[in-house]
Structure 1
Amino acid sequence: MKTNSLDFDAQALREKILDLAMRGKLVKQDPNDEPASVLLEKIKAEKAELIKEKKIKKSKLLPEITDDEKPFDIPDSWEWVRLGEIGNYIQRGRSPKYDKESLDHPIISQKCVQWNSINIEDAKHITEDFFKKLEPYRFIQKNDILWNSTGTGTVGRLNIVKDNYNHVPVDSHVTLMRMNQFIDSDYIYYFLRSPQIQKNLGDYLTGTTKQKELGLTNILKINIPLPPLSEQSRIAAKIAELFALLHKVESSTQQYAKLQTLLKSKVLDLAMRGKLVEQDPIDEPASVLLEKIKAEKEQLIKEKKIKRSKPLPPITDEEKPFEIPDSWEWVRLGEVLTILRGGSPRPIKKYLTDSPNSINWIKIGDSTVNSKYIDHAAEKIIPEGLDKTREVHKGDFLLSNSMSFGRPYILKIDGAVHDGWLILSDYDKLFDKNYLYYLLSSNFVNFQFKSLATGSTVKNLNRDRVAHTIALVPPLLEQKRIIKKINYLLTKLNIKLY
């Protein structure tokens, strides 16, 4: 996550903490700790006893770890070990038989295992017969690690059980890992979350692109840098402490970002009400400017250079949410701007080209959240495509009319736009470009866009609805003073200008 005041990437810091921890560089080694080599002998002896008592099954012998498999050096008191050697029970759940009526027996699926929680509320439920056939060891216990083992987008996600659950199993898409008593489960959990595993997850996956799978064989063979037991606990505790601190910083940063957004909205709100700068009686009123523009338009219609547009309804007093200075005017955007919708030549592949004489094909994906401008286009089309789309020019405004609808951008390039954009042009006689940008970015206009947007799942703005949006026109000279004041205040408040 990044903010205006602090280049703070919490996820990168978490990964760095985990990386240092797994290399033995997060906490100091204690020479009094019993070495991991002795610990491994204890684990072998205990597992042999458990097998003898038929409490766990004997597992297949795992191959020795070669030097090529060791990605980095570890402290002398540590040992490289395979995950299967230190787990008492590592197995996927069984394929369930679901019960759509009874809610007596929940079963954990990939959906339940999230990075931040194990959410039993999302669990499906199994039949009584299926439940009764489950062996006792299949029910999750405190400190078990649950690892999603199938599904694009979910495979590799894991969490550790920290609550007591009453006879809850996992399904066949989740691997349950129960460590030996001489292993700190929190340490293993953090290792499996670390970049060593998560950034190299593809090395452990099998299957097709559509259905990647984390197989049990590969899980058992995972190499783990194992510290002495006491050091495992110190490392896990240190990671938890640092993660908690990061969470506090992250929360504070998010709160600060919200405050910045609120302050920016307040500045723009004052600006749009005529309360940010003083009015100057020398300024030519907006009404005079509007009359000049109206006269010019009538002349162009008379000369048949443009067509007379359908008149928009007058703005009623009920539509005006607040008082404005006497030198300002209320207008509908469609009265003072040319508003058009983009168009897409189809099939688009027929018109795409890499030719140097081609035309910029400007799509929603060419815009960025943190920019006021669009200055490049990833794709280009041949000139013949212009007949089936809309041509745009430097200085034109684009409004996204779907998804993040209503967000304004100013073009720094010429080109053509597809039908995901609305084009606003011919504004320069009435609006300063930067004032218009702030006007379109203000809550006053944005709230209208949201109320006018249509569609159920994906909201859309159409041309007519934007044309009906009411806006404020100060004198041109006052617009420039407003821009200067906005920029000054946002800079002082350490808030991005756009």
Structure 2
Amino acid sequence: MKCIEDEIPFELPEGWEWCRVRDIAAVKGGKRLPKGVGFSPCRTAHAYIRVTDMKNHCINTDDLKYISEEVFLQIKNYTISKDDLYVTIAGTIGVTGEVPTELDGMNLTENAVKITNIQINKNYLCLIIQSEFVQQQFQDKTHQVAMPKLALERILSTLIPVCTITTQSAMVSKFVEMDSLINQIREEKEILAETVSLTKSKILDLAIRGKLVPQNPDDEPASVLLERIRAEKEELIKAGKIKRDKKESIIFKGDDNSYYENISNNTICIDEEVPFDLPDGWIWCRLKSLADPHENSFVDGPFGSNLKTDHYTDRREVRIIQLNNIGEFTWKNNGIKYTTYSHAETLSRCKSYPGDIVIAKMMPAGRAIIIPDIEDVYVISSDCVRLQLPNYIDKRYVMYMINSPTINKSVMKNVQGIGRTRTSLSKLKELLVPIPPYKQQCQISATFDKSLFYFDTINALCE
């Protein structure tokens, strides 16, 4: 007999007792497949339950593996019953659950054990083993090697609190009740989150159709903004500071109410490309037509070898904008990486500044944010595109518009690749986008800003 005062973490209520797992159950190991033997290519009468199938409370049967009758006969003594519990003992330690009736008598991996011949309420024991108190004991008893492993003897010596069978049953019933309520709340939160997402999309869709804010016929039409950009380009071309775009686009609505695009004095009807009509004062244009007239205002990041890990620095010099910084309408301050001032000078074309718009080429393509002012200067990575706008185009409207369902659909229609699809700078430049008068751009962005505040508040309450 020895004193175990140091092991007892807290006092138990009257009628409760401390005991070891060995006092109320037996623990037996599973068995690995015989050397050189694999799983059956088709379903058989013998499932082989792996750690990857095991979750807390239950087994995931979506990807069960099976063994042949011949293999089963070699390891038939290592099965698990519906009256047992399983506990994972290798890799992921301590995942515990019950065996469903349909898997009664199936084979158990060597990386898990079964707790069998249970003398107390099985469901109660399952909950106790999943408790933080028991899980910490498992971690303390785990042999720390490349593949952590929990020995059977150490499970048997694990200390657990035991109460009367009546109390055990009552605790299990209360847990089931609470777990059901938690799952209901989780499902309702998911439904609410989906509703918020759909509502955001609907508001953006209304916004770019001219249906979110009142139309004012006295507002200066958007066509004047485009004329101003073209006039500034002409001045820069005459000064030799930029080259003329040989594919400059001008889109207009003809007397026949059809939409036309003029490129290099060649005019074609683009009615099939225009998704909907716009209010008076609005225009359709290519996204490139909104870019600031100066050189390199709409560019993608450097070729991969021009900005790689060798060019990174631990010093806070020039921040690199990566895909994981582009969130939903907002900057995500993830994966902070810097390059040196000297290397950034070699990437001057890709330099970016607070207030510029950054668009993702992939994962998924087309999402856009505005660069925050947490740094003075940035460079974009190869999977990003940077757009700079003149100060008479509202950047928040353009950012929201790019993220709208209509424009997103246009982006995704032209992506390339399998699995990790991506777009390109040239395709983004040719996006057909709706532009309202400047005053309405500001009204739309301010209205959606308010909506986002409420949506973010709802999402925060749901977390």
Interval of TM-score (by shorter of Structure 1 and Structure 2): 0.7 to 0.9
Equivalent-residue separation in structure 2 for 1:64 and 1:120 (angstroms): 45
Q: Which moved more, 1:358-367 or 1:265-274?
A: 358-367
Confirm or deny that 1:111 pairs with 2:52: yes
Contact 2:79 2:106 (8 Å CA) reproduced: yes
**Could you say what secondary structure the match of 2:80 adopts?**
coil
Aligned partner of 1:14 in structure 2 is none
Extract unaligned runs of 5+ from structure 1: 1-62
Write out aligned runs for 1:272-351 (5 A).
272-311=208-247, 314=261, 316-337=270-291, 338-343=297-302, 348-351=308-311
Output the amino acid matched with 1:395: G
Aligned partner of 1:236 in structure 2 is 172
**Aligned CA distance change for structure 1 residues 432 and 101 (closer, same or farther; 3 Å):** closer
Equivalent-residue separation in structure 1 for 2:100 and 2:3 (angstroms): 32
State the Cα distance separating 1:437 from its structure 2 match.
2.1
Q: 2:367 aligns with which of 399, 402, 407?
A: 407
Q: Which moved more, 1:155-164 or 1:485-494?
A: 485-494
State the Cα distance separating 1:280 from its structure 2 match.
0.9
Aligned partner of 2:188 in structure 1 is 252
State the Cα distance separating 1:161 from its structure 2 match.
1.7
Aligned partner of 2:10 in structure 1 is 72
State the Cα distance separating 1:395 from its structure 2 match.
0.4
**Aligned CA distance change for structure 1 residues 487 and 288 (closer, same or farther; 3 Å):** same
Aligned residues: 428
Equivalent-residue separation in structure 1 for 2:49 and 2:3 (angstroms): 33
Contact 1:187 1:232 (8 Å CA) reproduced: yes
Contact 1:113 1:157 (8 Å CA) reproduced: yes
Q: 2:130 aligns with which of 174, 193, 198?
A: 193
Confirm or deny that 1:439 pairs with 2:439: no
TM-score, length of structure 2 as denominator length:
0.83
Aligned partner of 1:392 in structure 2 is 352
Confirm or deny that 1:156 pairs with 2:129: no
Aligned partner of 1:34 in structure 2 is none
Aligned partner of 1:458 in structure 2 is 420
Confirm or deny that 1:100 pairs with 2:40: yes
Deviations 1:455-476 (A, max 9, x none): 2121222211211211111000
Output the amino acid matched with 1:177: I
Output the amino acid matched with 1:195: E
State the Cα distance separating 1:370 from its structure 2 match.
6.3
**Aligned CA distance change for structure 1 residues 246 and 470 (closer, same or farther; 3 Å):** same
**Could you say what secondary structure the match of 1:299 adopts?**
helix
Extract unaligned runs of 5+ from structure 2: 250-260, 262-268, 292-296
Output the amino acid matched with 1:383: Y
State the Cα distance separating 1:207 from its structure 2 match.
4.4
**Could you say what secondary structure the match of 1:464 adopts?**
helix
Output the amino acid matched with 1:148: T
Equivalent-residue separation in structure 2 for 1:199 and 1:447 (angstroms): 49
**Aligned CA distance change for structure 1 residues 81 and 197 (closer, same or farther; 3 Å):** same
Output the amino acid matched with 1:112: D
Output the amino acid matched with 1:360: R
Aligned partner of 2:340 in structure 1 is 382
**Aligned CA distance change for structure 1 residues 419 and 235 (closer, same or farther; 3 Å):** same
Deviations 1:296-346 (A, max 9, x none): 112111211122235167471111111111211111112222321223566
Q: Name segments (4+ residues, structure 1) moved above 6 Å.
A: 492-498
Contact 2:361 2:424 (8 Å CA) reproduced: yes
Contact 1:353 1:382 (8 Å CA) reproduced: yes
Aligned partner of 1:140 in structure 2 is 80
Contact 1:144 1:178 (8 Å CA) reproduced: yes
Contact 1:345 1:351 (8 Å CA) reproduced: no
Aligned partner of 1:363 in structure 2 is 322
Contact 2:29 2:114 (8 Å CA) reproduced: yes
Q: 1:205 aligns with which of 123, 128, 142?
A: 142
Aligned partner of 2:202 in structure 1 is 266
Output the amino acid matched with 1:282: D
**Aligned CA distance change for structure 1 residues 277 and 124 (closer, same or farther; 3 Å):** same
Q: Which moved more, 1:95-104 or 1:331-340?
A: 95-104
**Could you say what secondary structure the match of 2:107 adopts?**
coil
Output the amino acid matched with 1:262: L
Contact 1:65 1:81 (8 Å CA) reproduced: no
Output the amino acid matched with 1:205: T
Contact 1:141 1:164 (8 Å CA) reproduced: no
Q: 2:385 aligns with which of 414, 417, 422?
A: 422
Confirm or deny that 1:127 pairs with 2:86: no
**Aligned CA distance change for structure 1 residues 231 and 265 (closer, same or farther; 3 Å):** same
Aligned partner of 1:169 in structure 2 is 107
Q: Which moved more, 1:328-337 or 1:238-247?
A: 328-337
Aligned partner of 1:477 in structure 2 is 439
Output the amino acid matched with 2:446: K
State the Cα distance separating 1:128 from its structure 2 match.
1.6
Equivalent-residue separation in structure 2 for 1:148 and 1:387 (angstroms): 54
**Aligned CA distance change for structure 1 residues 360 and 176 (closer, same or farther; 3 Å):** same
**Aligned CA distance change for structure 1 residues 147 and 377 (closer, same or farther; 3 Å):** closer
**Aligned CA distance change for structure 1 residues 374 and 489 (closer, same or farther; 3 Å):** closer
**Aligned CA distance change for structure 1 residues 468 and 249 (closer, same or farther; 3 Å):** same
TM-score, length of structure 1 as denominator length:
0.78
**Aligned CA distance change for structure 1 residues 68 and 131 (closer, same or farther; 3 Å):** same
State the Cα distance separating 1:365 from its structure 2 match.
3.9
